[in-house]
Structure 1
Amino acid sequence: MTATAASDTTPPRRRLSALAGLLPFLAPYRGRLIMATVTLILSSGAMLMVPLAFRDLIDKGFVANAAADSHINAHFAALGLLAIFWAMATAGRFYFVSWIGERVTADLRSAVYRRMLAQSPEFFETTRTGEVLSRLTGDTTLVQTVVGSSVSMGLRSLLQFIGGLVMLGVTSPRLFVITVVLLAVVVVPLVLIGRGVRRMSRDAQDRLADTSAVAGEILNAIPTVQAFTQEGRESARYDASVDDSFKSAIRRARLRALMTASVIAGVFGAIVFVLWLGAHAVIAGTMSAGQLASFVLYAVLTAGGVGVIAEVWGDVLRAAGATERLIELLHAESRIQRPANPKPLPQTRQARIEFQNVHFHYPSRPDTASLDGLTLDIREGETVALVGPSGAGKTTIFQLLLRYYDVDSGVNAETGGIRFNGIDLRDLDPAELRAQIGIVPQDAVIFSADASANIRYGNADATDEQVQQAARTARADEFLDRLPDGYQTFLGERGVRLSGGQRQRLAIARAILKNPPLLLLDEATSALDAESEAFVQRGLEAAMVGRTTLIIAHRLATVQRADRIVVLEAGKIVEIGTPAELLHSGGLYARLASLQLMA
């Protein structure tokens, strides 16, 4: 599944239906929705009362008689009170609508983010992270604009339009008919232009998402970009993407400018024409000056309502497209699901792992078997090393143990697949399974936090003493103590303030702090120098005591103390035995060892 934009040919009605996906996010705030609706009606009603107040002011307040002063004072006082009421109702509408928009957007953003965290790695094989981030920022901002502003303006303008039409008919039926005809002449081209704006708005959103994806990918690979001196090329690539986004936005702006000009010219021309007819009616005595003034004001309100509705309609359609993409992410289903009735895992110090006729193909490479009928029994407390050439299936074993993916098939439902302490992984809650596993990856992940928080990622409830003990075991204390603020030193994004070996030792400390029954070491010492590797190797050996450990290693010197070595090639086990047995067997392991240990 990919987070792609809907086709421009999607019918508007279908796109608008995507906004129904926001209803679950609006439902918890019914009280504020009611308050927003009430204040909207009150402010719109107050607005529609203004022309009537002006009519009475002109017809009764500007009369040359003894009561003129009292009349004009009363009318101006009424206008003042009406203005205050209108202002308060409008302020209330603005506050409640803005609150709802911000709250719904925050809830939607959080819900999509939680959904993304629950996706398996398979999802991100086909979906770019930058595109997801663009949806979380750009699309949610569009939704916020519509829910927190545009919808309110649209409803207000709709009430203004309907109420204005009614009052126009009451004030002067003849001029009302003429005004309706003129408005129709103005609205028809606006609808046609609006369709073009809608298509261009969608295109501009897609170009912006592409730009964000390019930037996210390159900024996460700055060292590589600089190492290969590709700054100029990547800058040019980003400039080209930005330029595409700019051109798309300008095309949209040009068309919207044309629409705005059409609104102003059409509305102003209609008002001038109606005012001309009304002036002749006043001269002829068939209409009072106050009636003409109120009619013109109602005509302005009605025409203004049409203009706002036309502009808001474009925003609503853009938000519908954005909502459709967000709901698509929100409804993305991970293939790795928690069973309806997961089996509980016994709390043990050690783990037993059984692979029985395991087959696996990565979804992005369905024609290539990563594991081909693998069968392996790892006993409690055993240390097993996985060795073999790149692509042999070593990392795949770790991915399946962590249940990032499920196996393709086994012998049968009872005995096939992978079993953890006698229970098939597919019968376990993935979170409970992963809580029993600690991993030190080859590329250590360090978060933008201090050293203590990074180590405590392995156990959020650990005490400071436990954190420091884990660091000492991993031999990380020797550099942590030298940092400016010790364990509270901020390490920068992705741990840029540390060397590769220091980051690796922090990752090892994190896994040690977790204290799991199963420990997975994926080239855990690959980033260390010889001296540090000797220190950390002793720390790892201490951490492995009493628990089951699986080690992936290309440097065979690091696995000489393993209980067994499993040699993989093309997804199959080709050799298995102790280091000494394999050295004398003359097989693949012996050939690899001759290239390393005896060099």
Structure 2
Amino acid sequence: MDSAMESEERLKVDLLNRAEAETSNAKSHEEVKTESDLKDKKQKTEKKKKKEEEDDKTRTVPFYKLFAFADSFDILLMILGTIGAVCNGLGLPIMTILFGDVIDVFGQNQNSSGVSDKIATHGNGLGFPMTILFGDTIDVFGQNQNTSGVSDKIAKVALKFIYLGLGTLVAALLQVSGWMISGERQAARIRSLYLKTILRQDIAFFDVETNTGEVVGRMSGDTVLIQDAMGEKVGKAIQLITTFIAGFVIAFMEGWLLTLVMIASIPLLVMSGAAVAIVISKMASRGQTSYAKAAVVVEQTVGSIRTVASFTGEKQAISNYNKHLVSAYRAGVFEGASTGFGLGTLNITIFCTFALAVWYGGEMVLEKGYTGGQVLIIIFSVIPGSMLLGQVSPCLSAFAAGQAAAYKMFETIKRKPEIDASDTTGKVLDDIRGDVELKDVNFSYPARPEEQIFRGFSLSISSGSTVALVGQSGSGKSTVVSLIERFYDPQSGEVRIDGINLKEFQLKWIRS
């Protein structure tokens, strides 16, 4: 009997141990599953955030929406700036016309049989300075050297140059001041609206959508990019495009055949000028970034010098600093080499184009009756106009950067918070007792929606009583205070003061 009872007790113990083992295994499996689920959710959340950040970088606003916050005075300034930019852009093409008049006044052998040979001789002398070759060309073209009327004609042309200079002075003043002042005014207005919008947002916005560094970065960095995109560079782009279009219109009016021949050189001129401008801006930006990173290393090292010294991290700090300096040095070397090669390519393209234009212009003088002034008007309308068109590319890059920077800021400015601190509507009680009640509250933080803080939580605090909320870290003590101050709204349930739902009160009055 005793042995039977002992065996039965052993069997029960074994069964209990197995049951406990199975339970613990099940719990461990559940814990592992829960941990893996949490990890998966965190990974998905991180991937979602990264994707949203990448999307934000690629999203832009239409160019015209950069000026959405302009007032009537800004619009007037932009109109005056545009008129000034157009007039300033016309200055160079008009100068070429006056220059052609000067060439027709100077010179010596219009329509002589030796023009073509002389032009070919001087056009191939690329080893001489350009000014000497240019003087030789003027001597070949023209019509009335040493005549008594030269002085009077030159005086009239000189007076036109003075008028042109005064006109471009006024135009440049309107262009630069109009666009810079309007850009500064609009950028200041955007900064003010952005800060005002940030301060009226609910706390959930700062938990999920932004942080302190991002706000400061957008206030200091993105607004500069936006201002750059809608300021002086707009006027410059209008000026350069006007010069290009006006130059070609004048060239076709003076001699369409020579202009068509010169069009073949436009792609090379535009690409050379654009490549030089883009490389310089990119390499300068890369160098500035490296220096900024080096400055961060210095700031962090000096700011935490006790920690650095306690772990003997001085050599590591110097090594990190030198790495960024080396990167900046390499960017500078590459910038110098690229710029030199680009400028050399641009110069050889310009001089070869001059050689082609001057040689073919001599043929046009003999065969089509062109004057020397017409030939050089066409040359100096097409070549500088094409080069200036290539300089538009930095302006276009600034426009693109401004459009991308404006997207997130404008989205934030348009955002309407669910809990609006600036809302003046709602109840205001003349007399308040101070009874606080949380009834069947379900709540989880927006940044951690998978972690339930309250599930059907209820709490009643009568007026005049002293209540202590006690519990372990993360049990929801500060959450109760946040809900009473209406930093957050519960997903379900109500927070009441004197029996009235907190959402019905004016928020400023509750917090004051």
Assess same fold via TM > 0.5: yes
Q: Which residue of 2 aligns with 1:356?
A: 439
Q: Of 88, 108, 131, which aligns to 2:214?
A: 131
CA contact 1:18–1:321 (8 Å) conserved in 2: no
When residues 78 and 187 of structure 1 are mapped into structure 2, their CA distance, relative to the original with a 3 A threshold, is closer
Q: Which residue of 1 aligns with 2:64?
A: 20
Establish whether residue 165 from structure 1 lines up as the match of residue 210 from structure 2: no
Any stretches of 5+ residues in structure 2 without a counterpart? 1-48, 108-143
When residues 394 and 269 of structure 1 are mapped into structure 2, their CA distance, relative to the original with a 3 A threshold, is farther
Deviations 1:284-304 (A, max 9, x none): 783322222222221233113
TM-score (normalised: structure 1): 0.60
Q: In the aligned structure 2, how far is the partner of 1:71 from the partner of 1:140?
A: 53
Q: In the aligned structure 1, how far is the partner of 2:211 from the partner of 2:499?
A: 37
Q: After the TM superposition, which residues 5-154 of structure 1 pair with which residues of structure 2 at under 5 Å, given as runs? A: 6=55, 10=58, 15=60, 17-28=61-72, 29-60=74-105, 63=144, 64-126=146-208, 127-154=210-237
Deviations 1:201-240 (A, max 9, x none): 9x969979x969989x979x96996898798699689859
Q: After the TM superposition, which residues 227-246 of structure 1 pair with which residues of structure 2 at under 5 Å, given as runs? A: none
Q: After the TM superposition, which residues 409-428 of structure 1 pair with which residues of structure 2 at under 5 Å, given as runs? A: 409-410=492-493, 417-428=494-505
Counterpart residue type for residue 47 of structure 1 = L
Q: In the aligned structure 2, how far is the partner of 1:6 from the partner of 1:370?
A: 32
Counterpart residue type for residue 160 of structure 2 = A
When residues 18 and 352 of structure 1 are mapped into structure 2, their CA distance, relative to the original with a 3 A threshold, is farther
CA contact 1:183–1:267 (8 Å) conserved in 2: no
Q: Which residue of 2 aligns with 1:4?
A: 53
Query: How many pairs are equivalent?
Result: 423
How much does 1:86 deviate?
0.9
Q: Of 275, 279, 296, which aligns to 2:358?
A: 275
Q: In the aligned structure 2, how far is the partner of 1:433 from the partner of 1:273?
A: 81
Q: Could you say what secondary structure the match of 2:70 adopts?
A: helix
Q: Which residue of 1 aligns with 2:413?
A: 330
Q: Could you say what secondary structure the match of 1:387 adopts?
A: coil
Deviations 1:295-326 (A, max 9, x none): 22212331132122223222222222222233
When residues 113 and 254 of structure 1 are mapped into structure 2, their CA distance, relative to the original with a 3 A threshold, is farther
Establish whether residue 315 from structure 1 lines up as the match of residue 398 from structure 2: yes
Q: Percent identity?
A: 22
TM-score (normalised: structure 2): 0.69
Q: Could you say what secondary structure the match of 1:122 adopts?
A: helix
Deviations 1:96-149 (A, max 9, x none): 111011111111122222222223333333433223222222222122222212
CA contact 2:187–2:226 (8 Å) conserved in 1: yes
Q: Could you say what secondary structure the match of 2:440 adopts?
A: strand
CA contact 1:5–1:206 (8 Å) conserved in 2: no
Q: Of 377, 382, 385, which aligns to 2:465?
A: 382
Counterpart residue type for residue 85 of structure 1 = G
Q: Which residue of 1 aligns with 2:377?
A: 294
Establish whether residue 155 from structure 1 lines up as the match of residue 238 from structure 2: yes
Q: Could you say what secondary structure the match of 2:434 adopts?
A: coil
When residues 36 and 297 of structure 1 are mapped into structure 2, their CA distance, relative to the original with a 3 A threshold, is same
Q: Could you say what secondary structure the match of 1:407 adopts?
A: coil
CA contact 1:130–1:212 (8 Å) conserved in 2: no
Q: Going by fraction, where is strand more abundant, 1 or 2?
A: 1
When residues 222 and 387 of structure 1 are mapped into structure 2, their CA distance, relative to the original with a 3 A threshold, is farther
CA contact 2:423–2:506 (8 Å) conserved in 1: no
Q: Going by fraction, where is helix more abundant, 1 or 2?
A: 2
When residues 405 and 226 of structure 1 are mapped into structure 2, their CA distance, relative to the original with a 3 A threshold, is farther
Structure of higher RCO (CA pairs closer than 8 Å, 6+ residues apart): 2
CA contact 1:18–1:324 (8 Å) conserved in 2: no
How much does 1:7 deviate?
7.2
How much does 1:164 deviate?
0.9
Q: In the aligned structure 2, how far is the partner of 1:24 from the partner of 1:385?
A: 52
CA contact 2:438–2:460 (8 Å) conserved in 1: yes
Q: In the aligned structure 2, how far is the partner of 1:265 from the partner of 1:347?
A: 84
Counterpart residue type for residue 510 of structure 2 = L
Q: After the TM superposition, which residues 433-444 of structure 1 pair with which residues of structure 2 at under 5 Å, given as runs? A: 433-435=510-512
